[in-house]
């Protein structure tokens, strides 16, 4: 798997791959990122009702929640109760199933290596919704189209920081060249381990994982499942080439059988 998805998509000369590193160890659950995302991108409100999910009024990522702050209360945590808070977002995968299944080309890879949806090209088929291993993409009832985080493509194209990272008061959400973020994340992980935080771990950054590495990755304080993240995400379309080869082989075998049958009938 290539670590340079922009080059694979035809950008011969492009800027560094950009992404997010979200350090959940310093997230305070203020939801400033959610608000900033909605304000800048014109994303509709979707969380004004009580949900019974603690302080989590938006519940999950979707067409109208591009940044979602999860609140996890661990009553039975060894030692003492604690809150885990994490701001989730689209992973902008290196191997993106949503791109593979889009029939109109509405989903595209940008020169920054990110994945965006072109609203005016999307036909609302929903293929990308089913293809995402993280449940990130959703269809909005008002327009029927698929929507998700763009990593503020319009802002980063002008040299600006994405709205969520700009608004984060603790720098839990960090934005920059992906290689630099990986180095920064590794240093932060080592610091936490030296401080005795044994459960701290990085999630999504490994290029050898099932999505070829995420463009938005996380430092977690517990197992991914605790945060509602799949422990071993896999691009849902990884078997498509093998399946098409089988289809081609089967079609060739059927054609050969039909030809032999026809020759036998004339004999």
Which pLDDT score is estimated for 249? 53
Tokens for 122?
């999307």
**Average pLDDT of adjacent 10-residue blocks, the chain of 267 residues:** 82 95 96 95 78 68 92 79 93 95 95 96 95 94 94 97 98 97 98 96 94 96 95 78 46 61 61
Nearest to 66 by CA among 84, 49, 85, 91: 91
CA distance 138 to 145: 8
Which pLDDT score is estimated for 241? 47
Which pLDDT score is estimated for 80? 78
- The gap from C-alpha 171 to its chain's centroid, in whole angstroms, comes to 20
* Residues 27 and 87 sit within 8 Å (Cβ to Cβ): yes
Q: Is 29 left (phi over 0), alpha (psi -120 to 50) or beta?
A: left
């Amino acid at each position: 798997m290539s670590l340079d998805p922009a080059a694979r998509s035809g950008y011969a000369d492009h800027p560094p791959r950009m992404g997010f590193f979200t350090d959940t160890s310093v997230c305070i659950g203020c939801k400033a990122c959610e608000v900033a995302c909605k304000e800048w991108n014109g994303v509709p409100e979707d969380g004004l009702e009580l949900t019974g999910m603690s302080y989590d009024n938006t519940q999950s990522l979707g067409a109208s929640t591009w940044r979602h702050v999860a609140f996890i209360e661990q009553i039975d945590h060894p030692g003492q109760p604690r809150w885990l808070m994490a701001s989730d977002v689209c992973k902008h995968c290196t191997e993106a199933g949503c791109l593979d299944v889009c029939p109109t080309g509405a989903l595209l890879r940008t020169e920054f290596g990110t994945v965006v949806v072109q609203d005016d090209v999307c036909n609302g088929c929903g293929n990308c919704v089913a293809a995402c291993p993280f449940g990130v993409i959703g269809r909005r009832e008002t327009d029927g189209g698929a929507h998700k985080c763009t990593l503020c493509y319009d802002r980063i194209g002008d040299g600006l920081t994405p709205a969520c990272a700009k608004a984060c008061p603790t720098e839990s959400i960090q934005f920059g060249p992906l290689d630099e973020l990986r180095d920064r994340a590794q240093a932060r992980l080592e610091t936490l381990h030296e401080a005795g935080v044994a459960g701290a771990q990085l999630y999504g950054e490994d290029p050898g994982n099932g999505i070829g590495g995420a463009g938005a990755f996380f430092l977690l304080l517990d197992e991914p499942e605790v945060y509602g993240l799949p422990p071993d995400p896999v691009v849902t379309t990884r078997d498509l080439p093998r399946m098409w080869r089988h289809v081609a082989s089967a079609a060739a075998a059927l054609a050969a059988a039909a030809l032999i049958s026809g020759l036998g009938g004339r004999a």
